[in-house]
Amino acid sequence: MEITTQPAEQQQMNAWKEEVNDVRNEVKMMRERLEQIVLSTAPREIMSKVEHFENRFLRQREVADEMYHDIKQCSKKLSDQPQVVHDDRPVDDYQTIQHRMEIFQKLFIELKDDFNHFITCDV
């Protein structure tokens, strides 16, 4: 019996897809926490910050969706499977996806830290 393993790049792509899904779930939980604040009797200055975070969460979700799609496409490109070419956004090579993922991770950590600071200090 032959055991096949995925190349390291494919394993990394699968890990990134899981991480992007985790980010989606965390953003969903943070939005739910934001909804609780909206339903409370928070002061007006808090509500402007709520709107700010709502916009950031929306954008984070959009970027997560784009990252997931592009990681999937790049993974297909590496695996010799037939590809569908999309004109709206080219599927990048592994190094480009890796760089974009690093930026994605950094920006999400900043968002999460900002939101946690908002929750603990302002609300």
Tally of domains within the chain: 1
Q: For 63, which DSSP code? A: H
d(CA 20, CA 17): 5
Which contiguous run of DSSP H or E holds residue 97? Answer: helix 94-117
Q: How confident is the model at residue 17 (pLDDT cuts 50, 70, 90)?
A: very high
**Quick check: 75 and 13 in contact, CB under 8 A?**
yes
Residue 32 in any domain: the answer is yes
Q: Has residue 45 been placed in a domain?
A: yes
Residue 1, in any domain of the structure: no
**pLDDT at residue 70, rounded to an integer:** 92
Can you give the residue range of the structural domain that contains 36?
8-122
pLDDT confidence band for 3 (50 / 70 / 90): very low
Question: Is residue 3 in some structural domain?
Answer: no
pLDDT tens figures, 32-62: 999 998 888 778 888 889 999 999 999 999 9
3-state secondary structure at position 17: helix
Please indicate, yes or no, if residue 2 is contained in any of the structural domains: no
